[in-house]
Amino acid sequence: MLEKLNKIEKTALESLAAVTDEAALEAWRVANIGRSSPVMNVFSQMSGLSKEERPLVGQRANQVKTALEQAFAARAEVVKNAALSKSLQEERLDVTLPGRPARRGGLHPATVTLRRMLGILAEMGFQVYTSRDVETDEMNFQALNFPPHHPAREMQDSFYIEAGERGDNPLLMRTHTSPGQIRAMREFSGANPENPPSIRIALPGMCYRYEQITARSEVQFYQIEGLAVGENITYGDLKGTLADFARRMFGEHAKVRFRASYFPFTEPSAEMDVECFVCGGKGCAVCKNSGWLEILGSGMVHPNVLQNGGYDPRRYTGFAFGMGPQRMTMLQHRMNDIRYFWGNDIRFLEQF
């Protein structure tokens, strides 16, 4: 019997060595350590053995069983690892195949720049004041020191609204966000006419000019203006504030320069240029070789405008500035056609 057990063990271990997959492993288990396996049969044949033989055979049978079970476990581990590495090998992907498209939403690029600029201005203490698109001539022009028929009006060709007979105060699409200056000043001074509070606001909004739609001009465009009014505000403050703004917008080394200009609602008036951020002032196609980019118009608020807003020009001074977020976007991304903005071609929008 002991001989037989030795043989069982030897045969089983030999056949185990040939096992390489899960199925054969299971078959081996059933055949060699299952209920009706040779070693188990030995246990059931124990009753036919002599008293002397029984403990010896029993002990040996247990040894064989344990040995086979351990061998099985070890082999199972080997088989499992082999199977895993095989499947890992087989499951290998072509990682260069494209991913399944995820859909990404996006803000319109005009919104993106508008927000960025308003964000910088907000941190500088200029808070957003919004006002309407359709305006009266009084608000859009007269209160801003453009008298009726004044030549300065030719700088801003307007869309007029059919609104019956309104004499010298027709309705029109605002040509700039400046009527908001008057609305804001009147609102704030109205609440406290004797002692109007100082003002620092940013005025964003859509503006409209009667121009043919071309790569360079549009009938509507965004504008952001800033207005600061107080009892102690100078042209030096205007320069400092705008230079600070330029450094925030274009980088800490941004250089600016001011050129005298004319706007009816400011005096003195100046255009501000920023050193070209594409070429660093060396001259390139974006700055047309000048090294400078025209960025905004600015000036000290005209006394008539302060007066029209309910602020006594003998007591208050202020400055105002205006700029086009779309122009900034165009410069920054070297965009050469302003029609892309309201064209909303998905191939344009998706690039932002």
Partner 1 sequence: MKVPVSWLKDYVDIQLPIEELARLLTVSGLEVDEIHYVGWQLPAENKYGFKINGLSWDREKIIVAEIREVRPHPNADRLTLCDLYDGEQTLVVLTGAPNLHPYRGTGPLAKPLKVAYAKEGSTLYDGHAEGLVLATLKRTKIRGVDSFSMVCSEKELGLSLEHEGIILLDEDAPAGMPLADYMGDAVLDVSILPNNARNASILGVAREVAALTGQPLKKQAYELPVSGEAIAGKVAIEINDPQLNPRFTLGLIRDVQIKDSPYWVQRRLRLAGMRPISNIVDATNYTMLEIGEPLHAFDYDILKERAAGKPVRIITRAAGQGEKLTTLDNAVRVLNPSNVMVCDEKGALSMAGVMGGLQSEIHDAASAPEGATRKTTSNILLEGAAWNFINIRKTANAHNLHSEAAYRFSRGVHPALTVDGVRRGLYWMAQWSGGCVAPGLVDEYPLPPIDPLVEISERDVKRALGIDLPAAEIAALLERLEFKCTVNGQTIQVQTPAFRTDIGEGVVGVADLMEEVARLYGLDRIPETRMADPLPPQRGNPSLEREDHVRDILVGLGLQEVITHRMSAPEIENRLLPGGSSETPLEYVKLANPIAPEKRVLRRSVLASVLNVVERNARLSDALEMFEIGPVFIPQGGGLPLEPRRLAIALSGRRYSPAWDSKLGVKLDFYDLKGVIEALMQALHLNVSYAPAEHPSFHPGKCAAVLLGKTALGVFGELHPSVQENYDFSAPLAAADFDLEAVLDAMQTAFDLKSVNEFPPILEDIAVIVDEALPADRVEALIRQTGGKLLGSVRLFDVFRSEQVGAGKKSLAYALVYQSPDGTLTDKEASQVRYRIIQRLDRELGAKLRS
In this complex, which beta carbon is closest to partner 1, that of residue 31 or of residue 155? 155
Query: What whole-number distance in Å separates Cα of residue 302 and Cα of residue 149?
Result: 19
- Least Å from the CB of residue 318 to partner 1: 9
Identity of the residue numbered 340 = Y
Q: How far is the CB of 230 from partner 1 (least distance, A)?
A: 3
Q: How far is the CB of 75 from partner 1 (least distance, A)?
A: 38
Residue 240 and residue 132: Cα distance in Å, rounded?
30
Q: φ and ψ at 95, to 5 degrees? A: -70, -5
Least distance between partner 1 and beta carbon 101 (Å): 4
Nearer to partner 1, 181 or 241 (CB): 241
Q: Exposed (0-12), middle (13-18) or buried (19+): which is 278, by Cβ within 10 Å?
A: middle
For partner 1, which is the closer residue by CB, 38 or 180?
Answer: 180
Cβ closest to partner 1, residue 9 vs residue 137: 137
Distance of alpha carbon 334 from alpha carbon 329, whole angstroms: 8
Rounded Cα distance between 266 and 321, Å, is: 9
Q: Are β-strands 292-301 and 266-275 bridged in parallel, bridged antiparallel, or unpaired? A: antiparallel
- Closest CB to partner 1 among 61 and 233? 233
Alpha-carbon span 141 to 264, nearest angstrom: 9
Least spacing, CB of residue 289 vs partner 1, in Å: 4
Residue 61 or 173 having the CB closest to partner 1: 173
Least distance CB 332 / partner 1 (angstroms): 18
Cα–Cα dist 322/221, whole Å: 13
